[in-house]
Amino acid sequence: MPATPTLQPVVVRDLTVTFGRRTVLDGIDLLAQPGRRIGLIGENGAGKSTLLRAIDGTLPRTAQVGGTVEAPADRAFLTQEPPFSDAATIEDVLATALRPLRDAVATVEALASRLDDPAVADDYAAALELALAHDAWDADRRALLAAERLGLDRLEPTRQVGSLSGGQRTRLALATLVTRRPGCLLLDEPTNHLDDDAVALLVDFLRDLPGVVLLTSHDRVLLDEVCTDLVDLDPVGMGTDGRGGRRYGGGWSAYAAEREAARRRWEQTWAQQQEELERLRAATRIDAGAIAHNRGPRDNDKFIHAFKGANVDRALARRKKDAERRLEEAERTQVRKPPAPLRLSTELTGGAAAGGGAGGRVVTVRDLEVVDRLRLPVLDVAAGEHLLVTGANGSGKSTLLGVLSGRLAPTAGTVQVGAQRVVELTQDPVFPDLTASAADTYAALVGSDLAVRRPLRSLGLLHPREHPKPVVLLSVGQRRRLALAVAVASAPDLLLLDEPTNHLSLALVSELEEAIGRSPGTVVVASHDRWLRRRWAGTTLALSASRGAGPL
């Protein structure tokens, strides 16, 4: 029986990554053993994607890196934008993933009959270890099943990658990973653009993978279903363990409660320490009156008072010295003040009745068709209604939002939108000048008057320290926050949100869902997010791949 191939851990020691004067990661330590599936979480800009790139060895040349990183050579990195050549075809990409596994099997079978020759023993062992590590004999079957479950079998094998949508590219990349089964897998927001069937395949694959898995994700259900550990890259004060630890054994639901409890412990400890510091500071200011209170000298007792007064002075000096020593110790060991968390602090929409049409309807759709993209017989959305649009990739969710916003023209049918102010947040917002600062970009997109009346800092979406930064230096999540700020600044009557939880931090995602729920205006959300869908309290419209639809 062949020996089980040895899998290697990922070891990160005191990792620091800076870009110019901007420090993205500072003193990060991480041990990821084979069999552990670790989710990296934290606010947008905390360095999650940077850490994955550091482990993969693909940081840009402008990065200054300190510390050490040890990672298996047998690794794969699924970025938010899969790095396939636009000219490559689907069959080219899948064949590239299969080729080394087929070669390993062929080598094992060719050398098996020559093991009596010592010269081939090392080659045979290396090929066998590779084949076993990647379950190479099953690779072709896995490739076919993955292509089928991911819907790639419905695409022409000769179709070029450049013609694929973002979701199709992600599914193609996932198919190559399922085929290859690397010993170390790095995933950056892997469920973006994936529907339920594709996510189910990803979950099964990750649970079955024996090597190291490190991933970033806004998908709270995925973190619950897959992760054995979470590592928080935000400064967490006293940490979840009370000693500043960043790591938590378990998934998102349990960690969210523990993190909140840790925040409360931090705030309570800081408040208690401030009370003690104030008491000690007061103790250093005591005078003789506090030692010999209401004991002034009598005319016939001045000698005794002088004698006792000397004792009082000595006692006072001892007390002050002791208080000063304890104050110095307390100031040195006190926890830092918990920073005020960034909170979404604005309503997403205007009033419910604004712009309502006949019968209080804001949207009226009849026999809508966009050729090859969407067919919708009827849709009515009332003023103040919250509608969730669901469906598999290609069912027309983004197309529907584009038609309602006026960005796309219907091929047939009628669409009436009665709202006065309609705003759409697309999946991939475009900024006019990536070299402009976040604050200037916000002002340019919403208008200078509105930027004064509702400044960017008042919305609680982008930290003030990011406002002067050029948009090009913002993380993907921070750009998403900026686009959301632009969308809600005018308090629209009809707000259209396409996959609004993509790329956002988990804390902001929860706040955004709450804000949607209490919005007085009309909101239409298109989303794959399983956590959001399971908790949705409004109306749901399910679009099917056959372009039909029906309310749930």
Same domain for 430 and 497? yes
The predicted pLDDT at position 307 comes to 54
> Tokens 């069959």 correspond to what residue?
91
pTM of the model: 0.79
Number of domains composing the chain: 2
Q: Are residues 322 and 397 in the same domain?
A: no
pLDDT at 308: 57
Q: What are phi and psi of 416, to 5 degrees?
A: -120, 125
The one-digit pLDDT tens for each residue of the chain (552 residues) are 344 457 899 999 999 999 988 899 999 999 999 999 999 998 888 899 999 999 999 999 999 999 999 999 999 999 877 778 889 999 999 999 899 889 889 989 888 888 778 878 888 888 888 888 888 899 898 888 888 888 888 889 999 988 887 778 888 999 999 998 999 999 999 988 788 888 999 999 999 999 999 999 999 999 999 999 999 887 566 666 656 678 888 899 888 888 888 888 888 988 999 998 898 888 887 664 555 455 555 555 555 555 556 676 777 778 878 888 888 888 888 888 887 777 888 889 986 554 555 458 999 999 999 998 899 999 999 999 999 999 988 889 999 999 999 999 999 999 999 999 999 999 888 899 999 999 999 999 999 999 999 999 999 999 999 999 999 999 889 999 999 999 999 999 999 999 999 888 888 999 999 999 999 999 999 999 999 999 999 999 999 865 444 433
Please report the pLDDT score of residue 77 as a whole number: 94
Whether 322 and 365 share a structural domain: no
R_g of the chain computed on alpha carbons? 31
Q: Is 393 found in the same domain as 320?
A: no
Helix, strand or coil, per DSSP, at residue 77: strand
Q: Give the contacts of 460 (CB within 8 A, at least 6 positions apart).
A: 342, 343, 344, 345, 346
Place of tokens 């804390």: 507
With beta carbons less than 8 A apart as the criterion, state whether 147 and 176 touch: no
Q: State how far the Cα of 473 lies from the Cα of 20, in Å rounded to an integer.
A: 11
| Residue 437: domain span | 358-551
Task: Annotate 310-347 with b (16+ C-beta within 10 A) or e (fewer).
Answer: eebeeebeeeeeebeebbeebeeeeeeebeeebebeee
Is residue 420 domain-shared with residue 509, that is, in the same domain? yes
- Same domain for 295 and 373, yes or no, is no
Please indicate, yes or no, if residue 370 is contained in any of the structural domains: yes
The answer to whether residues 274 and 405 belong to one domain is no
Q: Is residue 393 part of a domain?
A: yes
Cα–Cα distance, 83 to 61 (Å, whole number): 18
Concatenate the DSSP letters of all residues of 475-525 into one string.
-HHHHHHHHHHHHHTT--SEEEEESTTTT--HHHHHHHHHHHHH-SSEEEE
Residues 6+ apart with CB under 8 A from 305: 295, 297, 298
Within-domain flag for 146: no
On whether residue 322 sits in a domain, the answer given is yes
Q: Is residue 442 part of a domain?
A: yes
Distance (Å, whole) CA 480 – CA 38: 24
Closest CA to 318 of 351, 291, 348: 291
Angstrom CA distances, 49 to 41, 78, 484, stand at 10, 11, 21
201 with 178: CB under 8 angstroms? yes
Residue 191 lies in a domain: no
Residue 435: CA atoms inside 13 Å, Cβ hemisphere, count? Answer: 0
Helix, strand or coil for residue 166?
A: helix
How far, CA to CA in Å, does 120 sit from each of 101, 123, 135, 403?
19, 5, 22, 65
The residues pairing with 25 across neighbouring beta strands, listed in sequence order, are 17
Q: Residue 402: which CATH number? A: 3.40.50.300
The domain boundary, picked from 333, 350, 384, lies at 333
Q: Do 44 and 233 touch, CB atoms closer than 8 A?
A: no
**Closest C-alpha to 234, from 41, 371, 100:** 41
| Look-up of token digits 């550990």 | 229
CA distance 504 to 36: 24
Sign of CA pseudo-dihedral 246, 252, 258, 263 = positive
**Pair 380, 468 in one domain:** yes
Among 233, 325, 343, 332, CA closest to 280: 325
Q: What is the largest CA-CA distance in the chain?
A: 119
Instruction: Report the alpha-carbon distance of residue 475 to residue 280 in Å, rounded.
Output: 45
Per-residue model confidence (pLDDT) at position 337 = 84
Let me know whether 391 and 466 are in one domain: yes
Question: Does residue 88 lie in a domain region?
Answer: no
3 state SS of 446: helix
308 and 397 inside one domain:
no
Last residue of a domain, one of 291, 317, 333: 333
Q: What distances in angstroms separate CA 531 from CA 252, 294, 509, 510, 535, one per listed residue?
A: 11, 69, 10, 10, 7
* Separation CA 292–CA 228 (nearest Å): 64
> Final residue of a domain: which of 333, 367, 394?
333
Under 8 Å between Cβ of 349 and 283: no
Q: Are residues 367 and 327 in the same domain?
A: no
- Strand pairing report for 422-425 and 494-498: parallel
CB 66 within 8 A of CB 13: no
Residues facing residue 184 across a β-bridge: 75, 212
Please report how many Cα atoms fall inside a 13 Å half-sphere around the Cα of residue 278, on the Cβ side: 6
Here the tokens at position 428 are 């991939």
Whether residues 301 and 399 share a domain: the answer is: no
The candidate with the shortest Cα–Cα distance to 398, out of 510, 500, 531, is 500
Asked, for residue 99, whether it belongs to a domain, the answer is no
Which helix (DSSP H) or strand (DSSP E) does residue 206 occupy? helix 196-208
Three-state SS at 23: strand
